[in-house]
Amino acid sequence: MVDFGHLGDGNLHYNVQSPEGANGKAFLRDFEDRVNTLVFDQVAKFDGSISAEHGVGELKVGKLPLYKDPTALAMMRAVKTALDPQNLMNPGRVLG
């Protein structure tokens, strides 16, 4: 587990590496969803957020509705639409 981020604002990132000598693709296939669920559930338990001020990347778009209040999601989409009405900036990566 490699942790990095900016602790001052509570924004931490977790990068789980496959064990040395293991097949990285197989490790991701077998464990990525379970590890993410473990981390995301703990974040939610402590009233944290799996999204940053800019939203989420494409890997978390499908998980966002599970961890964000519907009102917060609607507000995020409204801000995204107001700032990027043609969806030119990172389409599909900020909000799905």
Give pLDDT, residue 53. 64
pLDDT attached to residue 34: 92
Sequence-ordered list of residues with C-beta below 8 angstroms from that of 12, at least 6 positions apart, any chain: 3, 4, 5, 6
Which stretches in the chain have pLDDT values below 50?
A: 96
Dmax of the chain from CA atoms? 47
pLDDT (0 to 100) of residue 31 = 92
Identify whether residues 2 and 44 lie together within a single domain: yes
Token look-up 């924004």 returns 11
Please check whether residues 32 and 70 belong to one and the same domain.
Answer: no
Q: Is the dihedral of CA 24, 25, 28, 29 positive or negative?
A: negative
pLDDT value of residue 29: 92
- Number of domains making up the chain: 2
Q: What is the predicted pLDDT for the residue at 51?
A: 78
Q: Which domain holds residue 27?
A: 1-48
Q: What is the pLDDT of residue 95?
A: 61
Say whether both 20 and 43 belong to one domain.
yes
pTM to 2 decimal places? 0.70
Same domain, 41 and 70: no
Contacts of 78 (CB under 8 A, 6+ apart): none
Whether residues 30 and 66 share a domain: the answer is no
Q: Are 58 and 90 in contact (CB under 8 A)?
A: no
Say yes or no: 2 and 23 in one domain. yes
